[in-house]
Structure 1
Amino acid sequence: MDARTEELRDAHDVLSQWYAKNLVGVLDSMPVERAMLDLFAEMTLAVGTEVADVGCGTGRLLPYLAGRGLSPRGVDLSPKMIEVARRDHPGFAYEVADLRELPLEDVSLAGVVCWFSLIYLAPDARARAFTELARVVRPGGYLVTAFKHGDGTLRRNGLSTDLGVDFDRYWLSAAEMEERFAAAGFALVFQGSVPPEEGSPPYGYMLVRKTGLRSDDPRA
């Protein structure tokens, strides 16, 4: 594990209890996020029920996904986040893993959720990560992601700094996100955003479908 990934893992180990305390019920007050997850669930059910929340953190989305008829599992880089997820949301399968090397079989999932988990990818890690996500989704399956809009500049000094830890973040443009997905074999289905609050970037949301054709494929 490289130093950058180790820093991210260790920081989220520290943040796990803060997340568990402060994110309880937050989805109830976020209709746009619920709508995106609902759209993902409805479309994915036509393909299958097996989905993974990659970067699941405390596992807070898994009960919601299960309530929409899906059979979710959680994957996260942080062992402490997974400990909290197993404690607070039992009854689901969880695994500790890097999203660039998922412990999942090829085309084994009908869908994947990446909820603010792609914002930690450095430029040299992105192609591998998006390709790995494509590997585990079967053709016709879906991926939904929430992210923060930006220009891709490296950022630090977030809320976590006040808690004694910090790590790299990158706010990507919707154009780059779409390009990355296309290169990995996904086609855009829907994208949207919400206006920024003071001191925060706009939040972006994107639903893509696995076509099996990479953007460099002449048939694409």
Structure 2
Amino acid sequence: MACQKFQILGAGSYGTVFLGRLSSSSSTDSQVFAVKSSKLESSRSLRVEGRILNQLRGCPYIVHCFGDDTSLEHEEVVYNLLLEYAPGGSLESLIKSRPGNIMEFEVSFYAYQLLKGIEEVHGWGFVHCDLKPANVLVFPCGCGVNRLKIADFGLSKPSGVNIFGGCHRGSLLYTSPESLVSEMHEAPKDIWAIGCIVVEMITGNPPDAFLNIAFKKPEIPEETPVRDGLPQCC
């Protein structure tokens, strides 16, 4: 499935993300994709991500993968992962655009979606290991709120398998105490991260510094509301 890249959306440690469309299509109205690319020799994390996404295919709370291919660019072989394009950007950008002003009913609905998505991930025997607002994509659905989808599985691992050799994986701000102190990267790590994301959606601020998380009991901000109710849509 060859794809033509025409705009850079972002870049990270494991590749560059482009906006693209199928090379065989000349129409500007054809479906666009997010194309995550890396040099072939350094594409291991992207290949891991592609394999995991293929197993998670069909979950409405996980970004969809359409396949992969390789291309020759500037005399180098490049590995490409073709992903669903999120017109709403990331949850990180949404939080920054509305710091402390995301409505309570939205936060509860977004938390619900994240939990449903990570339930599917854990059900297939994987741990995401790097849940954070930047790795959650936003899809406007026309009912006043958004559909969220978990993305970026490059650091994910099978449950119960230590493949990191005692090294920490993931963003420190969203790391659970046992992951930071004991290098335990299992399902509770993802649940902790979702709790941190919920606090950030409500307050507009990231969680406490990771050193405090390791050695002090975390405190829930006093202004954090706790109520029931989910929007009946999406």
TM-score, normalised to structure 2's length?
0.29
TM-score, normalised to structure 1's length?
0.30
Larger helix share, 1 or 2: 1
Q: Who wins on radius of gyration, i.e. which is larger? A: 2
